[in-house]
Structure formats: structure tokens, C-alpha cells
Structure 1
Amino acid sequence: MCRRVPRAEYGRVTETIVGLHMSLLETLVLLGAVALVVARWFPSAARPRVTIAAGAVFVLSAIVLSVVGIRWQLLPVLAGSAVALPFALSPLLRRRTGWPTWRARWWLALPGSVACVGLIATGPVAAWAFPVPVFPEPSGRFAVGTRVVQWTDPRRPETFTADPHDRRTVVVQLWYPAQKSPTGAQRAEYLGRTEHEAQTVSDALARAVGLPGFLLDGIPRAHTHAVFNAPVAGRGGRFPVVLFSPGSGGVRTQNTAWAEELASQGYLVAALNHPYDSAAVVLTDGRTIHTKSASTGNRDKDNKLAADWTAVRAADLGFVLTQLNRLGRGEIASPLTGRLDTGRVAATGHSMGGAAALQAARQDHRIDAVIDLDGYPHGRASPSLHQPTLALTQAITPATDPQYIPRLTKALELNTATGYRLTIPGAAHLTFMDGPLYLPPVPSIVGSLGRTQSTRVVAATTLAFLDTTLRHKPGDLPSTLSTYGDLSVYHPSDSR
């Protein structure tokens, strides 16, 4: 049966963006450019000094930026400066050479100045819309380490290739509680082990959504809070395991902010790349596997394909859990040997990854809990789930697939354990990943919760669920969840 829980005041926060999402050098270029334009309007005594100082700051900063790399967001700033520079320097040069100086009347100069300032202003606006993502500081007591492993399942053929000898290979990134690293330790790249891998994945993600790669050039520049191969924390006992499958075309790092928060709280997060489904998977031998999954435009065919891909992903999750079991026992050499608690496991995923988590839980009773982050339940609805399940969904609108909530509700109603469906007002589909940190803050794309509030809400709700189901911490879980949105609780029927 289902019980509706009244929504409490969840305090929708209007986020204030502090700063321009620009580096110090970029900010200096911006300020120098603006000063070059407005210098014309300073008193005549101050005008030469302002022009020389602004020009020096602008030119020197631009030279340094040209060496370290200029983002596309700075191009309108440079263009506006290029237009203004001759008009700013011409009176100075004429004065030095003794030529008569000439200044346009204010009503002629004003439109040009306004046009230049407007062009320059598009730079910080573009930097705000497409920033280098800044990841929220994990709030737990542990520092965070990360490492990447690649495993091949000798018993499963690769169904996406024609080679009968090809076996299914997955790339997995682990986030875990770590010892505190020395000050200045290099933080992990966001999208890959190396800068080259990060750029490769960024380009593939841009192509997957039909965007030119340069629009997302801030993503491969980002660094997270985790440190690659950091020593495992010496305290904290054994870590419960959280498996994660990304959305269709998504990559293992797409929920890094969430994974780092869980790891800082004492969990081991294992996020998968699904070759031929993820936008790009870079293997240890240097090969890059691009996605082969694509919509046909036919609903029935696409539903069948989605069910097939979901089944492959579910099998990937089960295989990774087997490998983590072996790693925990020492059959696979790792600093994490002896530190994993594979008797406490949650399967989680976003979008199609959420559907995969549901299917993996149906098939694998080693899984103790399930989290579906706005995932349509593709594939079979049987057998029934037997694990506590949390489904987070975006705000339901007339544009929402009319079959989504009924299918999700059916899965939760047939569960022999308690299920929760939490609909978060202001959330969109990409709210449940890192997208709000680097995509334009358009509500229909990333929701209206704000860049950092989105990650906080997803982390807070899922942590409360994991702490209750895997760690059996006391507390009123429905009350906690209902503070973030509209909660429905599905209790197992007495007749089952």
C-alpha cells in the first residue's frame, strides 16, 4: 500500500553566484579591457595614466593567457578591446609625436563605447553560463581518494562487436575514504586519468548532445577534491559499497560531486563506464571506444533497445560486484583489500543507469538497497524487488512521459520491502548529476535549485537512505526525505 507524506517546508534556496567564474588572469584581462574603453571618459589629466595602466594590464595578461590557453569566453573580450585599443592609444601617440590631437565629440564616441562594453560584457556572461565546474567541498570526516580499474569478464562475450573472442570489459572508477593528502597534492582531473583522456571524453559528450566541443571547454580543465591513488584511510572499519551506473551515453565521472560526498562519509563508490554505451571509454591500452547506442526515433524499437542495453548494464553491475568481492578477499591485489564490506551493497544509477540498478537488484540478492535517480524502469517488471528502494524524480510536468510514474509506481508497489518515491520541486533530469555545475542555469535543462544546491539535495537524500538501509542508523527516514519534496511511501502488502 502507498502512504502520502505531507511535504514540509524544504526552503527553496535562491543561489547567489559569487564571482565571475573566471580565473585571476581572465579577470585582469576583463578589467583592463573595460578600463581601455572607459578611459576616454576620464578627466583629461587622468586619461593618459589610466590608458597606459589599463593597456599594460590587458596586454601582459593576454600574453600570459595565450601561453596557458585562452577559453572561448574571452574572445568577445579580446574583440572589444581590439576595437577600443586604437582609439585609446591614438591621442597618446599623437601627443608624443607632436601631431595635433583629435577627439570625437561625446555623442559620436558614446555609441562606440557602449558597443565595446557590451561586447566585452558577453565574456563574463558566457563564463557564467559555461564555467569551469567548481566541486563542492565534501562534508564528511574523511579525505577522498580515487583510482581507476579495468576488468574483463571471461564468461561474457561482447555483444556490441562481431568478434566471437571479444569479452565484455568495463572501466570502473572507485572513490574511497582516504588519508589526508599533503597540502598542494594534485587533485584528480574531472573527466579522466589524464588531460588527454579528459579532453577526449569532453569532446565525445559534446557530440552526443549535438553541441560544438568548444562550448564545454571548461569541463576538461576542472579538478575534483579527490587525489588519485591516495592511501586508504587507516580508520573507519570496512566501507559499505555503492555501485553506480551513469545515464545513457553518460560516463563514470558524471556524478563525481555525489561520489566524493559519499566517500567522505565512509562509503566506497564504484562507478562504471559501459563500453559502446558511454559516450567515450578510454581503455588502459590507449584505445577509445565510442558509443554505438542511438535512438531510432521509433518508440517501440527504442523501448526494446533500451531494455536490451539495461540488461547489459545490469550484468555489468553484477560483474563489478563480483570483482569487488574478490578484491576485498585479496584475490585481486589492491590497497583496498580487507576494507570493503560487500555484505552491505547498494545499486544506484541515473536515468538508464537507474533502470539498470533496478534490474540488477532483481537478479542479484547480494544487493541490499537500490537508488534510482530519475530513471525510467526499462525492461521486465518481474521478479519483484526485495530491497528497500529510493526513487528520486524530477518535478512532474505535462511534458513528462505519461508512462514514467505508473511504471515506477508499479515497481515500488510490487516490492516486498519498503519503497520511497521522492519528487523534488525545481528539479530537472540533469539535476541528479554534475550538470548544474557546468551547464547554463536554464530550469528546463538543470532545474532551478542552483548550481550547488542541486548536488546538496541529491547527496542529503541518498545519504539518509543509505545510512538507514546499509548502516541501520536510527532516525525517521520519511520525515527526513519529505523535507526535500513530495514523498510517497510504499509499504509491502501483508498479503505478500
Structure 2
Amino acid sequence: MGGMLALALPPGKGPHLVGCTDVMVGHTQQGLFLRLFYPCLPQAGAAQPLWIPRSEYCGGLADFALGRRWCSALISIAVGSCRVPVSWNGPLKPHSHGYPLVIFSHGLGAFRTLYSSVCTELASWGFVVAALEHRDHSAATTYFCTAEDGREEWIPFQQVPPGQKEFYFRNKQVHQRAEECVRALRLFTDIASGKSVPNLLCQDLDLSMLKDNIDLTKVVVMGHSFGGVTAVLALVKEPRFRCAVALDAWMFPLENVLYPEVPKPVLFINTEKFQTPEGVAKMKRLSSRNSQTKIITVLGTVHESQTDFAFLPGKLISLIFGARGTLNPHKALTITIQAVLAFLQRHLNLEEEFHQWDDLLEGVGDSVVPEAPFCRSNL
């Protein structure tokens, strides 16, 4: 493993240590698969989980990012042994009132672990974060285990079929993704009500530990890119989501008729290089209806700046995933998280000091601006 290429994901900067486990429920595609990040107690000799959990995901990334399967081995050599700085199956730190819950939706061609930096950071500030792996063929790859023999059925990434309009294909996907976010909330409701929820991955961690440790009156849905627009749609489908956070949302797949239906506030945190005027106009439609909806842009960032890829050094990664942002990725992550925490303080009525970062919600601060002044045109 060349030190030059090592991924150095940052540990959370909040007051809590972070634990992590994988959860799969149900034996069909209609079940759920997610990675759970949560505040945990110290544990001697705790293992750290792999960032890319299995080699199949390297193949999926190679296909999605490059359309070149041979790069799978290259990705595997570069990042295959990288680990996330969290405690695998670490013991949950109990909370007298329960932690707020974040359901997180990944972007196109991603999967449940590629936002570990954001999820770890949120967990370190006192949230339980459920990072879904979507089964709408938008993940680089994913799988479920059948009931008969526990065989793995893999669900590959799918391009828009020839002859099909992209909007209709993506719109169907975004509805499936939002439904998966709603099902994830139902899963945690079941756990909280004391129902036994078997985790097919047979981890050492019993999900019933969450029973009295999640506050289901404080639930938010969040995502990046395709996951950002998924979060907006989930607000329409599930009234128990109090608000949404959309990182560089790809607004294209959402049908226009739904915009008047979005009832709750959304925080849009955009990167400097990704948005189009059309996408921003859609965000502004929502902010014109709800004064609590905020749009800010982080300067010096590109679309991948809000993923773990921002922390990959080396020319190889620039080669695979395109240009890097000019803003230091640690600083970009700090700005993003502080803005999210200030927003959640406001809309989940948290008893924290996160309002100290309220200025960021108005686009005031180093490396942030209000709205999205620099979005590229569709030339």
C-alpha cells in the first residue's frame, strides 16, 4: 500500500467517539441496506471498518466512473485497504433523551460508505446517522441476501436505457429512493417500539440497543447530488421528516408539480462548480415559498468535494474523478457540517450551541456566499 495514495479520512471533531455497523433487513430487494454511524463508548482494541467494504464495489466504481472494468484493480490497490476512523460495532453511548436521527441518501454511482467523513462528523456531534445503499440501480453496485439459501443477489448500476428519456428514468428512481428513506424511518420506528428487527449481517451489535436512544420527534433527511433531490422528495412523502439537507442537489429528476408540495425547510449547500441555472431556479422556487429554506455556496469546491474522495491524495484519484477543489477539504467539511448543525439546531429545537454558526446559513463567512451566484450555464 503506497503511502502516497493512502486515504486519510478525518476523525469526527465533535465531543463523541463514533461507532459504526452495517444493517441489512429483509430478504428481497424491498428490504433495506444501510451503514449506521452513532456516538459510542471507548472500546479497547476496537477495529476500524474498511472504507470500500468489498472488492465488488471497486468494480462498480470503475464501471461507473470510467466505464473501464480494468481500473477496478487499480482502485483496489489504491484504496482497498483504507479504513474509516470509527469503532466497528463499538458499544452505543446511551442518551437520556435519545439522539436525533439523520437518514442519508448517496449520489449517483456511489454507495453507503462514500460519505463516511460527513456521517462520522455528524455522529461525533450527537446524531445517529443511517447511510442508505439504494437499490434503484443508481448505486455503483449493491446486493441483498435471498431467504432460501442466503445467496447474494447483486444489483448493478444501470445507465439510462437507449431510447428512454432521462427524466422519466431518473424520476422513477428518485421516487424509489425517497420511499427507501421513508422505509428506513419506519425501521427505526419499529426498533424504538421494541419490535425485534433481525439484522441479516449478524453483527455483534443488537439493534435493540437503539430502542431508548433515538428521538423520533427529531428526524431529518439528507443527501448528496441525486441523494440531495431524494431528500427534498422524502419531505413530501413523509411528514415526520422535520427538514432536509441537500448537498449539491441534482434537481433535474423532480417533477414540477411537486414543488408546491414541499412543506418543510431545506438547506441547500452547493459547490461552486456543479449547479446549472435551471437547478438553482428550482431551489429558489422552494426558498420563495419557505423563508426558512436556505441556499449557500461553498467557494473553491467541486461536486466531489462533499464526498470522501476529497480526502484522497495522489494524481491517480484526480485522474479517475476529475478536478479537485481548491479549498482545503478539511476546511470545506468543517464549513458544511457547521452550517448543517446550525440549521438542525433551528429546526429540531436542539439543546446545543450550534446557533453559533448561524451566519453560515445566510452565506456569511470565509469561503461561503449566499445562494449560487456562479452556476455554469448549460452550454
If the length of structure 2 is used for normalisation, what is the TM-score?
0.82
For 1:356 and 1:142, how far apart are their aligned partners in 2? 29
Does the C-alpha gap of structure 1 residues 292 and 441 become closer, same or farther in structure 2, counting only changes over 3 Å?
Answer: closer
Match of 1:206 among 62, 75, 99: 62
What is the match of residue 10 of structure 2?
Answer: 136
What is the match of residue 375 of structure 2?
Answer: none
How far 1:319 sits from its partner (Å)? 0.6
Contact 2:95 2:213 in 1 (8 A): no
What is the match of residue 265 of structure 2?
Answer: 388
For 2:17 and 2:303, how far apart are their aligned partners in 1? 29
For 1:388 and 1:476, how far apart are their aligned partners in 2? 20
What is the match of residue 159 of structure 2?
Answer: 294
Match of 2:170 among 294, 306, 324: 306
Deviations 1:240-269 (A, max 9, x none): 000111001210111101111111111000
For 1:441 and 1:463, how far apart are their aligned partners in 2? 30
1:353 aligned partner, one-letter code: G
Matched, 1:273 2:273: no
How far 1:466 sits from its partner (Å)? 1.9
Match of 1:486 among 347, 351, 369: 369
Contact 2:94 2:213 in 1 (8 A): no
Matched, 1:465 2:324: no
What is the match of residue 286 of structure 2?
Answer: 411
For 1:349 and 1:207, how far apart are their aligned partners in 2? 22
For 1:235 and 1:402, how far apart are their aligned partners in 2? 44
Does the C-alpha gap of structure 1 residues 427 and 266 become closer, same or farther in structure 2, counting only changes over 3 Å?
Answer: same
What is the match of residue 361 of structure 1?
Answer: 235
What is the match of residue 319 of structure 1?
Answer: 183
What is the match of residue 190 of structure 1?
Answer: 51
2:167 aligned partner, one-letter code: N
Does the C-alpha gap of structure 1 residues 219 and 236 become closer, same or farther in structure 2, counting only changes over 3 Å?
Answer: farther
Contact 1:174 1:271 in 2 (8 A): yes
If the length of structure 1 is used for normalisation, what is the TM-score?
0.64
Contact 1:435 1:446 in 2 (8 A): no
1:449 aligned partner, one-letter code: L
**After superposition, where does 1:25-424 map in structure 2 within 5 Å?**
127=4, 131-152=5-26, 168-182=30-44, 184-192=45-53, 197=54, 199-210=55-66, 211=68, 212-217=71-76, 218-235=78-95, 237-275=97-135, 276-284=137-145, 285=150, 287-296=152-161, 301-333=165-197, 334=207, 335-377=209-251, 378-381=253-256, 382=258, 383-396=260-273, 400-415=275-290, 418-424=292-298
How far 1:471 sits from its partner (Å)? 3.5
RMSD of aligned alpha carbons: 2.5
Identity of aligned residues (%): 20
For 1:367 and 1:329, how far apart are their aligned partners in 2? 18
Contact 1:441 1:448 in 2 (8 A): no
For 1:274 and 1:286, how far apart are their aligned partners in 2? 19
Larger Cα-atom Rg: 1
Does the C-alpha gap of structure 1 residues 315 and 418 become closer, same or farther in structure 2, counting only changes over 3 Å?
Answer: same
How far 1:380 sits from its partner (Å)? 2.4
2:370 aligned partner, one-letter code: L
For 1:430 and 1:236, how far apart are their aligned partners in 2? 37
- The total of aligned residue pairs comes to 341
For 2:371 and 2:312, how far apart are their aligned partners in 1? 31
Does the C-alpha gap of structure 1 residues 478 and 185 become closer, same or farther in structure 2, counting only changes over 3 Å?
Answer: closer
SS in 2 for 1:370: strand
2:79 aligned partner, one-letter code: I
1:200 aligned partner, one-letter code: E
2:270 aligned partner, one-letter code: T
How far 1:418 sits from its partner (Å)? 0.8
2:156 aligned partner, one-letter code: T
Deviations 1:341-370 (A, max 9, x none): 111011101111111100010121100010
Contact 2:20 2:35 in 1 (8 A): yes
For 1:133 and 1:471, how far apart are their aligned partners in 2? 36
For 2:82 and 2:186, how far apart are their aligned partners in 1? 32
For 1:272 and 1:458, how far apart are their aligned partners in 2? 20
Q: Which runs of 5+ in 1 are unaligned?
A: 1-20, 24-126, 154-165, 490-496
What is the match of residue 96 of structure 1?
Answer: none
Contact 2:62 2:72 in 1 (8 A): yes
SS in 1 for 2:272: coil
Contact 2:134 2:177 in 1 (8 A): yes
